[in-house]
Chain A
Amino acid sequence: MWNYTEKVMDHFLHPRNVGELENPDAVGEVGNITCGDALRLTLKIDKASGTITDAKFQTFGCASAIASSSVLTELVKGMKLEDAAKITNKGIVDMLGELPEEKMHCSVMGMEALQAAIANYRGEKSPAGKDESEEGRLVCKCFGVTDAKIRKVAIENRLHSVEDITNYTKAGGACGACLDEIQEILDEVWKGKPCATDGRGGFVCMTVVQKIMRIQEVLDKEIKPHLQNDGGNVELVDIQGAKVLVRMQGRCSSCPVSHLTLKNTIEAKLREFICPEITVEEVK
């Protein structure tokens, strides 16, 4: 049994704005019956002000798909097109309180339908859906997911594991042949990603293995040579979140000012090359 929030159940049991607008100004269609969910969104848009005046939806899918669609129509009504274009699946999830991880793809479907509708109104090609293959390489053949979509969803939702990608996009959820490829895309997306200025991205989002490799690299290239010049050295012991634990070695281990080396050299370099949030502590 899924743990749906009251808001999800409310929108599922009493969906708002069901149906199809007559002579809509914009239509966005995503998904298909084979995949198990699909959404058709129709919008009325006031041309002068560029405002969405009405929205209706039709959805084939589970409770969270219906709830995501319903809440989306409420969200966009009265919204300027340029603001609506910025809505991500996270915006939909926030409106619903939360969704189970395995159901995140329902909120992604809502975002895609909205983007498809806006593109349709502007006479552009759909960013998702039918023209998707032109935008990227098809990675998941079972659910028709491209590398472009995986990258986009990974970055927007800070996803680091293949399992998360499957929950959000369905990619890899059927035959599993593309799981390695998804991992490669993720590795590429997060490799050496600089820390986001809001302090939420980058280092803290890396996997432990990525952190170890990155820190080891900076230690080896930028820090150890300096210490070794004075007969000292340093060893990586552990990483806890953004806290890096090291052991001082050689002459550093008995140096009365090693705490200065720790802060002014090791921590400073790690912050410079990896992430300003990193703190370094010594373990004996």
Chain B
Amino acid sequence: MKSIGKVIYCDNNATTQVAPEVFEAMKPFLTDLYGNPSSIHHFGGQVQREIDRARASVAGLLGASDTEIIFTSCGTESDNAAIFSALRVMEPRKKLLISKVEHPAVLNVGKELSRRGYEVVEIPVDGLGRIDMDFIAKNVDSNTALVSAMWANNEIGNIYPVEEICRIAHSRGALFHTDAVQVAGKIPIDLSKMPVDMLSMSGHKLHAPKGVGALYVRRGVRFKPFIIGGHQERGRRAGTENVASIVGFGRACELAAEKIGEERDKVARLRDRLERKLLASVECTRVNGDISSRLPNTSNISFEFVEGEAILLMLNQMGICASSGSACTSGSLEPSHVLRAIGVPYTAAHGSLRFSLSRYNSEEEMDFIAEKLPPIIKMLREISPYWRKKHDPIFRIRTCTAP
């Protein structure tokens, strides 16, 4: 196996590279400009102005106003803050609706809340991962505090009709929160035209560093802080600001706003090129998710009768970085909750591969993957005891459901 000597990074839904412009913007705040933005003196105070500028940039990407943005430490914190706040301001309502395919940052909060006595209802999805709108309409009631549904799914890339879900929530007086961690910077967002109450985002998914996120809280929506302490973020999120990362996050949002067309055109074209080539050259594959409503950068493909971790480690030998929803990659013994929720057959769930691209990927990289992956699948299938039996009746209902 030959290596081309560099990393081909196709795991951008996990994290992204820090954009060079972002790094440049951050540097002064890691060296000379180390003041505390809360200080009275100019040395610290000048830093506050840069945080405000970053806030305006984040708001700009979302079509929000500055005062609606609270900086947090990550997407997970934003999700936790939104949910716990909603439950407090909506007392005595005790019910929460979340989708079955949420990120663990929401899903596991739901599990914890149900242990604490809240009624947590999980919204099912269909075989393409589309959310069941009728179920939401039937289950949102006058006891519902919050509906939380992600804007796009990190594993299969499905984009959800958040505006419609939001209207159903509002029709019964419930709040609506969306985890938009995978969406910000990938597709346009305009919250001035949408009634979303709260929205989570994360810096490191759009070429800012790890350790910074934001929570949007619509003006007029009551909010109770999740982290208690000092007066930072106008009393809504205590703790000395992660200045350099916030500044980087702001710069990343400016870049994302400039390059959102590139995501739609270039990145989607690269994704489609890779997907088309792989589906054409490897038999018994299936695309997981809803290709009619999908993030431009995400492709989730199952290669039947082989196991995902084995594929990933073979790709790793060639410097190709991707991810898998197979059980073995996580050590959890079961395939990902998303693939199980959409009913991907086990023959395919264990062999799922997710490629998530960014504007830093190139056509040559896609062609390199499309050339190197098919022989890997072929080799692993030769090792697999199931491949030669793929036409056995036991697999008939589960096999080769190519789109």
On whether the beta carbons of B386 and A60 are closer than 8 Å, the reply is yes
> Can you report 25 residue pairs joining A to B where beta carbons are below 8 Å apart?
A12-B310, A13-B1, A13-B317, A19-B382, A33-B347, A36-B326, A36-B328, A36-B335, A36-B350, A37-B328, A59-B385, A60-B385, A61-B307, A62-B309, A62-B326, A62-B328, A63-B309, A63-B310, A65-B328, A66-B383, A102-B331, A103-B331, A142-B334, A170-B333, A174-B333
On whether the beta carbons of B313 and A173 are closer than 8 Å, the reply is no
B332 partner residues in chain A, CB cutoff 8 A: 173
CB distance from B346 to the nearest CB of A (A): 4
CB distance from B389 to the nearest CB of A (A): 10
Residue B82 CB within 8 A of the other chain: no
> With contacts A13-B317, A36-B333 known, is A18 near B307, CB below 8 A?
no
> With contacts A33-B347, A62-B309, A66-B310 known, is A38 near B385, CB below 8 A?
yes
B382 partner residues in chain A, CB cutoff 8 A: 18-19
The residue from A18, A19, A39, A62 contacting B310, defined by CB atoms under 8 A apart:
A62
On whether the beta carbons of B307 and A36 are closer than 8 Å, the reply is yes
On whether the beta carbons of B384 and A143 are closer than 8 Å, the reply is no
Return the chain B residue nearest A38 by Cβ: B385
On whether the beta carbons of A15 and B326 are closer than 8 Å, the reply is no
Q: Tell me the A residues contacting B by CB distance below 8 Å.
A: 9, 12-13, 15, 18-19, 29, 33-34, 36-40, 58-66, 100, 102-103, 142-143, 166, 170, 173-174
Return the chain A residue nearest B334 by Cβ: A174
On whether the beta carbons of B384 and A58 are closer than 8 Å, the reply is yes
CB distance from A30 to the nearest CB of B (A): 10
Residue B327 CB within 8 A of the other chain: yes
A166 partner residues in chain B, CB cutoff 8 A: 333
CB distance from A163 to the nearest CB of B (A): 11
On whether the beta carbons of B333 and A33 are closer than 8 Å, the reply is no
> With contacts A102-B331, A143-B333, A174-B334 known, is A37 near B385, CB below 8 A?
no
B-side interface residues, number (CB < 8 Å): 27
B308 partner residues in chain A, CB cutoff 8 A: 62
A9 partner residues in chain B, CB cutoff 8 A: 313
How many angstroms between the C-alpha atoms of A233 and B347 in the bound complex?
A: 65
CB distance from A242 to the nearest CB of B (A): 32
On whether the beta carbons of A60 and B305 are closer than 8 Å, the reply is yes
How many angstroms between the C-alpha atoms of A173 and B313 in the bound complex?
A: 23
CB distance from B309 to the nearest CB of A (A): 4
Residue B400 CB within 8 A of the other chain: no
CB distance from B361 to the nearest CB of A (A): 21
B313-332 interface with A by 8 A CB criterion? 313-314, 317, 326-329, 331-332
Return the chain A residue nearest B395 by Cβ: A33
> With contacts A34-B346, A62-B307, A62-B326 known, is A29 near B385, CB below 8 A?
yes
Q: In this complex, which of B305, B308, B309, B347 has the most chain A Cβ atoms within 10 angstroms of its Cβ?
A: B309
The residue from A29, A37, A102 contacting B307, defined by CB atoms under 8 A apart:
A37
A-B pairs with the 3 shortest C-beta distances? A173-B333, A62-B328, A58-B385
Return the chain A residue nearest B317 by Cβ: A13
B350 partner residues in chain A, CB cutoff 8 A: 33, 36, 60
Interface SS of chain A: helix, strand, loop or mixed?
mixed
Return the chain B residue nearest A19 by Cβ: B382
B317 partner residues in chain A, CB cutoff 8 A: 13
How many angstroms between the C-alpha atoms of A174 and B337 in the bound complex?
A: 11
The residue from B310, B333, B334, B346 contacting A61, defined by CB atoms under 8 A apart:
B310
B1 partner residues in chain A, CB cutoff 8 A: 13
How many angstroms between the C-alpha atoms of A12 and B335 in the bound complex?
A: 21
CB distance from A60 to the nearest CB of B (A): 4
Can you name 9 extra interface pairs (CB under 8 A) apart from A33-B350, A58-B383, A142-B334?
A: A12-B310, A19-B382, A34-B346, A60-B307, A60-B386, A62-B326, A62-B329, A173-B332, A174-B334
CB distance from B344 to the nearest CB of A (A): 12
How many angstroms between the C-alpha atoms of A64 and B328 in the bound complex?
A: 9
Return the chain B residue nearest A166 by Cβ: B333
> With contacts A13-B314, A36-B350, A166-B333 known, is A60 near B327, CB below 8 A?
no
B383 partner residues in chain A, CB cutoff 8 A: 15, 18, 58-60, 66
On whether the beta carbons of B385 and A36 are closer than 8 Å, the reply is no
Instruction: Bits for B1-42, please: 1 = Cβ < 8 Å to A, else 0.
Output: 100000000000000000000000000000000000000000
CB distance from A69 to the nearest CB of B (A): 9
> With contacts A13-B314, A33-B350, A60-B305 known, is A39 near B385, CB below 8 A?
yes
CB distance from B378 to the nearest CB of A (A): 13
On whether the beta carbons of A59 and B384 are closer than 8 Å, the reply is yes
Return the chain B residue nearest A4 by Cβ: B313
Residue B136 CB within 8 A of the other chain: no
Residue B98 CB within 8 A of the other chain: no
CB distance from A41 to the nearest CB of B (A): 10
B346 partner residues in chain A, CB cutoff 8 A: 33-34, 36
B61 partner residues in chain A, CB cutoff 8 A: none
B360-403 interface with A by 8 A CB criterion? 382-386
B257 partner residues in chain A, CB cutoff 8 A: none
How many angstroms between the C-alpha atoms of A30 and B386 in the bound complex?
A: 12
CB distance from B319 to the nearest CB of A (A): 14
How many angstroms between the C-alpha atoms of A103 and B327 in the bound complex?
A: 11
How many angstroms between the C-alpha atoms of A32 and B84 in the bound complex?
A: 42
Return the chain A residue nearest B384 by Cβ: A60
How many angstroms between the C-alpha atoms of A209 and B335 in the bound complex?
A: 35
How many angstroms between the C-alpha atoms of A15 and B314 in the bound complex?
A: 13
CB distance from B360 to the nearest CB of A (A): 22
CB distance from B339 to the nearest CB of A (A): 12
CB distance from B332 to the nearest CB of A (A): 7
How many angstroms between the C-alpha atoms of A9 and B305 in the bound complex?
A: 21
A65 partner residues in chain B, CB cutoff 8 A: 307, 328
Return the chain A residue nearest B330 by Cβ: A102
B327 partner residues in chain A, CB cutoff 8 A: 36
Return the chain B residue nearest A70 by Cβ: B383
Residue B106 CB within 8 A of the other chain: no
Return the chain B residue nearest A106 by Cβ: B328
CB distance from A35 to the nearest CB of B (A): 8
How many angstroms between the C-alpha atoms of A209 and B313 in the bound complex?
A: 41
How many angstroms between the C-alpha atoms of A63 and B346 in the bound complex?
A: 18
CB distance from B308 to the nearest CB of A (A): 8
B306 partner residues in chain A, CB cutoff 8 A: 60
